[in-house]
């Protein structure tokens, strides 16, 4: 074991990431539509539709990239580079390259014996051949990590003083012997508590990524060498997820974490009282907590940087997680795309910025952007308790936040809020706090036509806190109350002066519609898709989910950052009063079985007012039929929504389509009488039908 010492902290303070200091100031950016950024003006969307295509394997996904069936892919592994070489040589593919902001490693369930012994955890660290993981598992496209923010993508946040564990099975064996684990006659370690062979350690290795499997198998070989008994289970995410994040029923898990530029996520992963779905290592340590408190709640950049350094030092000693490597990722995409945006915290170009602001070289507006996924979403919802990659990718184009972070400088950008201010505030019990005021852009609409107001913003904060949402609870632990001085002003009162406070309420929590969520008692189990309520204000509107095949979203023509020349509009439906039109859904099939217990509705609205609802019927093949009848609709223009909601599985499934309905007045019927054009008026009175001819004057 050795201690690494790095650059003096004082020399780092001058190169901190450009993030807001919580002093009293006001930001008043340029008005929407477009938002100036380090990479140009951000406005969009340009594609008519995003289609997330679900593949069984990464090999099939890459084949789709080569054939043009998909334009970008969720994960790309180093060993797949030869597979795309022909596309690179022909110019049909291009790539982005960078160092990811994140880490991959082994999570250790620290409440389970013998992993509750720090010496045992350190012994495992000595058995990790990180150089080999990078050299062979990542084909050299990666960086060995000795500390938790060690990726070059994190710059100055990387640890400067920390404990390292060079690969040494000899040191591992010595440590194990020192705590009483010695080999029996069969070469397996004897548990000193029972005097019998130790129980097998359950290693959960995710199958979606070959490098995870490689690392787990290499570790298993080293376990064989020193006598650690194990049960290596190579399983998909769907199997690992409940065991790790809900039940914590594992010993070692091949974990990956894309943290983003705000490094206070270390607090969420390792603080003693963090929810188990975040701190799934169940790690508790007072010394680490103190450093994480400084990282999370420090007032200045210098203070939180020092907290980050201390936290990494203490975590490297305690090892609830063994950091292994970060990727030097290669992110390929179809060369027809332009204005593609590479985000290090998303490990490439497959992100909401690209989806919203990229364009097709062959046409400015319209077309379909196809995205390859190697997994179904778990439970698409802005309030689900786990931030899965695919769910978040979908949520990020459906929902928005008051501010955004610049893709390269990480400075705050105006988004739903056109301006904001932070100022000191004294809490009722006399502590220093912060008052954060957001002034919203006017005219932003939810996908169901209602206008976004400050009440939605404050409701989101209140609701996420009340629900104790595991994903957002650490951002709201300092939130005292919210206020809405007027329709477009939302104020958050925080009992902290944390360096990160603006981001907690401004960019980290997607804003949800109060009119949908205010009556939802359990936000974690609620399935917006199966209720027809996956409704946001973002650049794309949910359209359809078919498990195992695809998720489709369509461009939001009402998006507040829509380019001035955009030709993207809602599909128009023109009908004469009294006409009917039949709509039939796609088949709702789950695990090969038609699902007939869903609902299919056509809702006609004027603004926030529902004018008419038509309820459909189910068909034996899983499709649904509803009939739009305009006889009771006054001539005019309406918003029309056709929704399928099916409660099935974890995520549910359904579809959502929005139209502009125009109902025109039914023309008067005419006949010729005696060579003169006359209107025929049908009068029903006292049971008789009388035809009255009126001469045209």
Separation CA 525–CA 573 (nearest Å): 36
Q: How far is Cα of residue 517 from the mean position of the Cα atoms in its chain? A: 19
| Concatenated DSSP letters of 179-205 | TT-EE-TTSPEEPTTTSSBPPPEEEEE
Give mean pLDDT, residues 63-84: 90
Q: Is the pLDDT of residue 333 over 90?
A: yes
Domain residue ranges in the chain: 100-327, 412-529, 570-664, 669-697
* Token pair recorded at residue 150: 């060690």
Residue 15: the pLDDT is 34
Largest CA distance in the chain: 117
CA distance 171 to 450: 64
Separation CA 187–CA 168 (nearest Å):
19
pLDDT for the residue 59: 86
Per-residue pLDDT band at 436 (split at 50, 70, 90): very high
From the number of C-beta atoms within 10 Å of its C-beta (0-12, 13-18, 19+), residue 287 rates as middle
Tell me whether strands 571-576 and 653-664 are parallel, antiparallel or unpaired.
parallel
Q: Evaluate if residue 78 carries a pLDDT over 90.
A: no
Percent pLDDT > 70 in the chain is 91
Residue 674 confidence class, pLDDT cut points 50, 70, 90: very low
Closest to 389 in 3D by CA, of 400, 377, 381: 377
**Cβ proximity of 237 and 386 under 8 Å:** no
pLDDT above 80: residue 597: yes
Q: What pLDDT is stored for residue 4 in this prediction?
A: 35
- Say if CB 162 and CB 312 are below 8 A apart: yes
Q: How many CB atoms lie within 10 A of CB 274?
A: 21
According to the model, what pLDDT value does residue 345 have?
A: 81
Strand partners, 438: 420, 490
- Give, to the nearest 10 degrees, the angle between helix 169-178 and helix 118-126: 160
Do the beta carbons of residue 631 and residue 665 sit within 8 Å?
A: no
- Average per-residue pLDDT in the chain? 89
pLDDT band at 669 (very low <50, low <70, confident <90, very high): low
Nearest to 128 by CA among 4, 236, 233, 252: 252
| pLDDT confidence bin for 470, thresholds 50/70/90 | confident
Distance in angstroms (rounded) separating the CA atoms of residues 688 and 234? 80
Which residues is 368 bridged to in the sheet? Answer: 49
| pLDDT(677) > 70 | no
DSSP, residue by residue, 371-409: EEESS--S---TT-SS--HHHHHHHHHH---SEEE-TTT
479: which strand partners?
Answer: 494
Q: What is the DSSP letter of 570?
A: P
Spatial contact of 434 and 424, defined as CB atoms under 8 Å apart: yes
| 100-327, CATH topology level | Dipeptide-binding Protein; domain 3 (3.10.105)
3-state secondary structure (DSSP) of residue 335:
coil
Which residues, 6+ apart, have CB-to-CB distance to 438 below 8 Å?
Answer: 402, 403, 416, 417, 419, 420, 454, 457, 489, 490, 491, 492, 506
pLDDT value at position 685? 36
pLDDT over threshold 90, residue 20: no
Residue reference for tokens 């649904």: 624
pLDDT for res 679:
42
Fold match, 100-327 / 412-529:
no
Specify the CATH superfamily of domain 412-529: Dipeptide-binding Protein; Domain 1 (3.90.76.10)
Sign of the CA dihedral with 183 first, then 188, 189, and 195 last: negative
Q: What is the DSSP string of 12-50?
A: HGGG-------SSEEE--PPSSSB--TTS-B-----SEE
Please provide the size of the chain in residues.
697
Mean pLDDT of 105-118: 98
Supply the CATH classification number for the domain 570-664: 2.60.40.10
483-525 residue pLDDT tens: 999 999 999 999 999 999 999 999 999 999 999 999 999 998 8
Asked whether the CA dihedral 665, 671, 673, 677 is positive or negative, the reply is positive
Q: What is the model's pLDDT at position 242? A: 92
Whether the per-residue pLDDT at 22 is higher than 60: the answer is no
Whether the predicted pLDDT of 225 surpasses 90: yes
Q: Which of 68-72, 403-407, 658-662, 684-688 has the lowest mean pLDDT?
A: 684-688
Say what the pLDDT of residue 425 is. 96
Residue 628 has pLDDT above 70, yes or no: yes
Encoded tokens for 159: 């640890």
**pLDDT for 360 beyond 70:** yes
pLDDT in tens, 472-483: 988 999 999 999
Instruction: Pick 4 or 662 by higher pLDDT.
Output: 662
Q: Which residues pair with 453 in a beta bridge?
A: none
Quick one: three-class SS letters along 59-76?
A: HHHHHHHHHCCCCEECCC
Structure confidence at residue 238 as a pLDDT band (50, 70, 90)? confident
pLDDT tens readout for residues 38-56:
999 999 999 999 999 999 8
Q: What percent of the chain has pLDDT over 90?
A: 76
Report the alpha-carbon distance of residue 695 to residue 184 in Å, rounded.
Answer: 112
| 517: its two tokens | 């969520």
Supply angle C-alpha 230, 235, 236, rounded to 5: 155
Burial category of 2 from C-beta neighbours within 10 Å (exposed 0-12, middle 13-18, buried 19 and up):
exposed
Which of the four pLDDT bands, split at 50, 70 and 90, describes residue 32? low
Whole-number Å distance between alpha carbons of 586 and 50? 18
Cβ atoms of 541 and 658 within 8 Å: the answer is: yes
**CA 39 from centroid of its chain's CA atoms:** 23
């Amino acid at each position: 074991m050795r201690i690494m010492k790095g650059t003096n902290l004082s020399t780092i303070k001058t190169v901190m990431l450009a993030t807001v200091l919580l002093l009293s100031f006001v930001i008043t950016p340029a008005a929407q539509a477009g938002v100036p950024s380090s990479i140009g003006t951000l406005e969009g969307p340009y594609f008519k539709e995003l289609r997330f295509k679900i593949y069984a394997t990464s090999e099939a996904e890459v084949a789709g990239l080569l054939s043009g069936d998909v334009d970008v892919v969720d994960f790309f592994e180093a060993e797949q580079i030869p597979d795309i070489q022909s596309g690179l040589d022909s110019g049909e593919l291009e790539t982005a390259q960078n160092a990811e902001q994140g880490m991959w490693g082994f999570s250790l369930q620290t409440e389970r014996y013998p992993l509750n012994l720090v010496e045992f955890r350190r012994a495992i660290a000595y058995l990790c051949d990180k150089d080999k993981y990078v050299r062979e598992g990542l084909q050299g496209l990666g960086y060995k990590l000795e500390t938790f923010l060690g990726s070059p993508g994190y710059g100055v946040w990387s640890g400067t003083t920390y404990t390292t564990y060079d690969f040494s099975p000899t040191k591992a064996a010595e440590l194990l012997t020192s705590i009483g684990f010695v080999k029996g006659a069969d070469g397996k370690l004897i548990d000193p508590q029972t005097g019998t062979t130790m129980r097998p350690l359950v290693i959960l290795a995710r199958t979606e990524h070959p490098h995870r499997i490689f690392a787990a198998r290499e570790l298993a070989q080293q376990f064989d060498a020193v006598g650690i008994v194990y049960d290596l289970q190579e399983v998909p995410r769907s199997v690992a997820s409940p065991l790790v994040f809900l039940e914590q029923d594992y010993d070692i898990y091949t974990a990956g974490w894309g943290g983003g530029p705000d490094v206070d996520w270390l607090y969420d992963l390792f603080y003693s009282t963090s929810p188990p779905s975040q701190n799934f290592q169940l790690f508790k340590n007072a010394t680490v907590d103190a450093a994480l408190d400084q990282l999370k709640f420090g007032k200045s950049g210098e203070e939180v940087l020092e907290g980050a350094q201390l936290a990494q030092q203490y975590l490297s000693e305690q090892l609830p997680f063994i950091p292994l490597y970060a990727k030097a990722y290669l992110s390929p995409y179809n060369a027809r795309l332009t204005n593609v945006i590479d985000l290090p915290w998303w490990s490439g170009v497959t992100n909401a910025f690209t989806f919203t602001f990229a364009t097709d070289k062959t046409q400015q507006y319209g077309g379909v952007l196809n995205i390859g996924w190697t997994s179904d979403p778990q439970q698409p919802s802005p309030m689900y308790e786990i931030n899965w990659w695919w769910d978040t990718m979908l949520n990020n184009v459906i929902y928005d936040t008051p501010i955004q972070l610049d893709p390269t400088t990480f400075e705050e950008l105006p988004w739903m809020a056109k301006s904001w201010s932070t100022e000191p505030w004294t809490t009722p019990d006399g502590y220093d706090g912060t008052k954060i005021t957001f002034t919203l852009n006017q005219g932003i609409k939810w996908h169901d036509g209602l206008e976004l107001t400050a009440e939605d913003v404050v409701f989101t904060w209140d609701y996420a806190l009340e629900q104790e949402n595991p994903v957002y609870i650490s951002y709201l632990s300092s939130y005292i109350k919210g206020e809405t001085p007027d329709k477009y002003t939302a104020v958050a009162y925080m009992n902290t002066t944390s360096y990160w406070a603006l981001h907690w309420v401004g960019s980290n929590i997607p804003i949800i519609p109060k009119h949908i969520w205010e009556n939802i008692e359990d936000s974690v189990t609620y399935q917006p898709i199966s209720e027809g309520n996956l409704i946001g204000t973002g650049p794309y509107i949910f359209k359809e989910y078919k498990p195992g095949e695809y998720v489709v979203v369509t461009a939001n023509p009402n998006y507040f950052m829509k380019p001035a020349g955009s030709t993207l509009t809602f599909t128009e439906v023109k009908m004469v009063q009294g006409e009917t039109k039949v709509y039939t859904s796609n088949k709702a099939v789950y695990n090969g079985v038609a699902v007939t217990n869903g609902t299919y509705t056509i809702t006609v609205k004027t603004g926030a007012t529902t004018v008419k609802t038509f309820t459909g019927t189910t068909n034996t093949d899983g499709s649904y039929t509803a009939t739009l009848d305009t006889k009771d609709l006054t001539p005019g223009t309406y918003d029309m929504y056709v929704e399928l909601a099916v409660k099935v599985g974890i995520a549910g499934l359904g579809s959502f389509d929005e139209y502009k309905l125009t109902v025109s007045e039914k023309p008067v019927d005419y006949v010729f009488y005696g060579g003169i054009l006359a209107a025929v008026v049908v009068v029903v009175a006292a049971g008789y039908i009388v035809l009255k001819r009126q001469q045209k004057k």
